[in-house]
Amino acid sequence: MDSYRWIEDGPAGQQKIWRDGLAELLDAVSAADGVPALSEGFVRALEEGTGHRHLLAFDGTGGTERPIGVLAVDVPDVSDAGGTAEIAVHPDFRRRGTAAGLLREAGRGLDPEAQFSIWAHGNLDAARGLAAGRGARTVRELLKMTVYCGPDDPARASLVEGAAAAPTIVSDAGLELLDYPAACEEFGADLVDAEWLRVNNEAFAWHPEQGGWDIDRLRRARETDWFDPHGVLMLWSRDDNQGPQCAGVHWTKFPAGDTHGEVYVICLADAVRGRGLGGPFTLAGIGYLIDAGAQAVDLYVEGDNTPAVATYRRLGFEIVHRDVVYRGMV
């Protein structure tokens, strides 16, 4: 019979042992499934020890040193209906009720109306079966789209051409295209960061992970080994009365040693939406990634954002992966 422990409720020394075991578990899950066991935000929270809680499952015959499953929730109180959880089970211990046990244990005493949502990365067969068996419903779908842009790929020429034209289109719209260091030199880092946050929070006011950021959250997000300040492109306007204002942010990601770059975050200020800038601004970042050596570019988009999906398809992107959020699992 499996046993369960919340990492954050254990003694400090034991927490370290459990976290090390959890890291091994996540590696095994990723290797078996071909998709990350937990999303980037959940992994960062595990490393930083802030805000999230982690329920571990242990095999009844194997002691409590190495977990066989985890349920991670992104709120300090699991009764918070605004919380989102992710589950991972070691490939050697699947189809024996471990995921159901984690859900049952985490849901003890919860109001049925105060259930957190569950991410299913890749929406694999096991996740779909678990959801169907518990009567859960899909409330969100996140699509991963990819375009291949190596020297021999057919989309490369049009992407490079579009990226080359982007600065002129931006200029014709009365805006400037600057990377983050150039913007900081021109306007000062404090103003640039404040404007970055303003545009981000305007664009993602509805978004459970990307919205509502403050300066500390932005700084933590930039504290990664892959962060490239020159890979953050920004649209700027100058106004004699209001001063410089950011009109858009395109944050690219290209980890060392990887062949895939990413449109990590892209957003436009409310004031410039509907002016045909989304496509050129996307292409500007893709051009930067191609110049840096990316052989493919990935992005993530909400499944119900039909206009954005259509725009990305026109640029050559295709859907390669689906993540789903279920409600009603607990």
Going by the annotation, the residues of the binding site are 40, 87-89, 209, 253, 262, 266-268, 300
Is residue 103 exposed (0-12), middle (13-18) or buried (19+ Cβ within 10 Å)? buried
In the numeric block, the tokens 């109306």 are attached to 113
Beta strand 245-253 with 69-73 is unpaired
Residues 6+ apart with CB under 8 A from 330: 103, 106, 107, 110, 115, 116
Question: What is the 3 state secondary structure string of 126-149?
Answer: HHHHHHHHCCCEEEEEEEEEEEEC
Q: Write out the H or E segment, with its range, that includes residue 57.
A: strand 53-58
- CB-hemisphere CA count at 13 Å for 119? 27
Three-state secondary-structure class, residue 302: strand
Binding site per annotation, positions for acetyl-CoA: 87-89, 266-268
**The residue count for the chain:** 330
